[in-house]
Amino acid sequence: MIEAKKVVKRFGLKVILKGVDFHVKRGEFVVLVGPNGAGKTTFLRILATLSRANMGEIKIGGFHLPRDAASVRKILGVVSHQPLLYGDLTAEENLEFYARMYNLQNVSERVQEVLVLVGLQVRRKDLLREFSRGMQQRLAIGRAILHNPTLLLFDEPHSGLDQEAAAMLDNLLREVAAQGRTVVMTSHDLLRTPGLASRVDILSKGVIHVSLRGADLEPQKFPELYRSAVND
């Protein structure tokens, strides 16, 4: 699904990504972790077609970036730090707006399906500005999956959530991944990550230092492994 080779990104004289190799198979749930400034969000923005690499080769779903960016966007759903929703619209109206942007058929039916999936069907008539941060994140995921994308990109979706909201979001992420979608997520939560991912990659100093199978990770031991990798 994703093939990235020797990806380099510079901002002026500062090199953020120093030759990242990153490969994701269809149906994998991969989490990128790393210290602040490691380049996680920068790399995710490149995959999301929101930024361009200075060097390297990237293919997503068989399409080349940046040449085929329009084709990549059709198979992509993105959840960033901002939910990209409208506070003066209801949950239902927000999804209806995006469904029409995607030129979906059977808009009402699809919106109701997504509201049920993200657990907001009973709040469908409430304004977004009345929602908690966790509920807004769930609706943002609903927005991202409306058009049934094959690849989902999440940039630290747990940021700012309390434990209860984060646990609800975990369940939703598992449901979304269980539908066969490919998921790439950045995170700074070292205890939560191993329980979600089929693979964890540690990005530090502009490159991926370690790639680990989620099934092999013990949540309580992962923080120590992580510190060893980033301080190497």
pLDDT at 44 over 80: yes
Helix (H, G, I), strand (E, B) or coil at 150: coil
pLDDT of residue 58: 98
The amino acid occupying position 64 is H
Q: Sheet containing 63-65: which strands, arranged edge to edge?
A: 14-24, 2-11, 55-60, 63-65
pLDDT beyond 80 at 207: yes
Cα-Cα-Cα-Cα dihedral sign, residues 44, 83, 70, 180? positive
Q: How confident is the model at residue 184 (pLDDT cuts 50, 70, 90)?
A: very high
pLDDT at residue 47 above 80?
yes
**Given this model, what pLDDT does residue 218 score?**
81
pLDDT at 61: 96
- 212: tokens are 């680990």
What is the tens place of the pLDDT at every residue in 132-162? 999 999 999 999 999 999 999 999 998 888 8
- Quick one: pLDDT at residue 46? 98
**Residue 185: which of 79, 85, 84, 59 has the closest Cα?**
79
Res 148: pLDDT: 93
Query: Is the predicted pLDDT of residue 204 greater than 80, yes or no?
Result: yes
Could you tell me which residue, 82 or 40, shows the higher pLDDT?
40
The identity of residue 38, as a single letter, is A
19: how many CB neighbours lie within 10 A of its CB? 14
Distance CA 110, CA 124 (A): 13
221 sits in the region (left: phi over 0; alpha: psi -120 to 50; else beta) called alpha
- What whole-number distance in Å separates Cα of residue 115 and Cα of residue 111? 6
- Per the prediction, the chain carries an average pLDDT of 93
**Rounded mean pLDDT of 93-106?**
95
Gap between the Cα atoms of 94 and 115, Å rounded: 11
Tokens 């990209």 correspond to what residue? 84
Q: Which residues of 141-162 are buried (b: 16+ CB within 10 A; e: fewer)?
A: bbbbbbbebbbbbbbbbbeebe
- pLDDT score recorded for residue 108: 95
